[in-house]
Structure 1
């Protein structure tokens, strides 16, 4: 991305805001899924939560699910990736993203754009907060 083409309200800015919001909604949905389905034997950390969610929706073989690219996995759960499917608290936080009213998308979604290991630290703190 050219730095000269980036400014608030530019296409690149809107793309980044939308991608950030997508990752945020994905993380919140997976957090909610973990709260419902995780056990002490399988906490569904990282990609495991996404894979389990896809399994619950499709009943595909786990090996088939693990072979999906992130972009394809997101396509499978598209109906889940909606703002109305996250908590009011998460929706309030999302409102600070100043999202554009129309879609501005990147052409692809590289695996490295979703850093589930880094995000899991934040989500653990949410889980601890909820139990206090």
Structure 2
């Protein structure tokens, strides 16, 4: 299945959560890569529900007295200008995004490496 979406800016919350060592460790264990500390948001022309797929999931945890919810992860291939990058759709249990926005993680900063900008169209292969 191929999903196409336009890159949009987020609030920067993905950067905060992906900087937490426990999240990084758990994601690395499931996906075999350490995610760049940030997400790339794609606005779709359809609703997307990760629960319709065989996703992976991290556990909830408590850090410094605060509860952090686990995330659902769906490994994907991200089509970029010169090839394909392994990454994942990351779906927090708590999110402000509608079902027409997905967040992508990868081992590199995709915006910087491929000079991606808001409005660029990206394809993700599930």
TM-score normalized by the length of structure 2: 0.26
For the pair shown, the structure with the greater C-alpha radius of gyration is 1
Which structure dedicates a bigger proportion of its chain to helix?
1
